[in-house]
């Protein structure tokens, strides 16, 4: 087991620099919804304008919302990918350099059922942050999983 002092050393020597380098992107993600709200206000303002100008103002506001939403979605996806590759991967490596980390991988459905932990069927299955390795003579693997089962009408 890794000690708290070792975790602090890893943070100071490896992770702090990575997190500091990514902080500008994190702050931009926090502020990006504000211009989207301003564009929504512009759309609402178009309701008080008569004639063709109202359509121009509405178009500008709506176009701004669409553009900023696409920018936000792409930026957020890139930030998460970067965080996993630079930070989570280093944490897994610090715990044990022989462990394998795949940010987009997940436990396969056959292993999910073979575990016997979950007996209900699902409609959707996915996940991420797959880690596998070996502790002494025991192979292991884990990941975040998202399973969903749809219920249509009536009691469950």
pTM: 0.72
What Cα–Cα distance (Å) separates residue 53 from each residue in 29, 40, 59, 61? 32, 16, 10, 12
At residue 94 the predicted structure's pLDDT band, cuts being 50, 70 and 90, is confident
Residue 154: the pLDDT is: 63
Quick: pLDDT tens for 50-73.
888 989 999 999 999 999 999 999
DSSP code, position 122 = -
Per domain, the residue ranges of the chain are 1-95, 98-156
Q: Work out the mean pLDDT of the chain and round it to a whole number.
A: 89
At residue 77 the predicted structure's pLDDT band, cuts being 50, 70 and 90, is very high
């Amino acid at each position: 087991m890794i000690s708290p002092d070792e975790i602090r050393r890893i943070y100071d020597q490896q992770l702090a620099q990575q997190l500091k380098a990514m902080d500008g992107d994190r702050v931009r993600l926090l502020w990006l919804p504000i211009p989207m709200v301003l564009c929504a206000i512009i759309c609402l303002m178009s309701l008080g304008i008569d004639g063709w100008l109202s359509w121009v103002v509405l178009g500008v506001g709506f176009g701004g919302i669409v553009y900023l939403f696409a920018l936000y979605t792409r930026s957020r996806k890139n930030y998460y990918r970067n965080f996993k590759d630079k930070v989570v991967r280093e944490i897994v490596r610090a715990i044990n350099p022989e462990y394998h980390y795949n940010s987009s991988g997940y436990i396969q459905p056959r292993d999910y059922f073979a575990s016997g932990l979950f007996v209900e069927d699902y409609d959707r299955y996915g996940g991420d942050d797959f880690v596998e390795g070996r502790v002494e003579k025991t192979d292991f693997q884990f990941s975040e999983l998202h399973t969903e089962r749809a219920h249509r009408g009536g009691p469950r």
